[in-house]
Amino acid sequence: MTITEDNFERIVLGSSVPVLVHFWAPWCGLCRRVTPMLNRFQQEWSGQIHVLDINADENLKLANLYRLKTLPTLLFMERGKVVHRFDVLRNRDEFMRSLDLLMRCHGFEVGVAEGAGRLIDN
């Protein structure tokens, strides 16, 4: 789903589940390399978090509002508030561990869909 300044408040800030916002740009090579990891993360935590992309070049008001200094920048948001910010991505495994730890610290379990009470493909 494409997130823009027009739908950001409704989709991101109004989300009933945590949101991982991925600010990216088409010219950013690292942004493209992060995308498969984010897709895997979304699948592992299915139903418990939304991973959403925002093109920083096309949404300058949002980029300025969240004071982006580098791309990619990822914001872990819960109830409309930034809970954690990833400005620097050094290592793929470290990044994935940090995301998993963040989810566990917020009481979520990998592979358990909200309200389902059963394991989903791990």
Catalytic residues: 28, 31
- Residue carrying the six token digits 């984010």: 38
Residue 100 structure tokens: 């998993």
Neighbours of 56 (CB within 10 A): 22
Residue 47 near residue 116, CB atoms below 8 Å: yes
Residue 109, CA atoms < 13 Å, CB-side half-sphere: 10
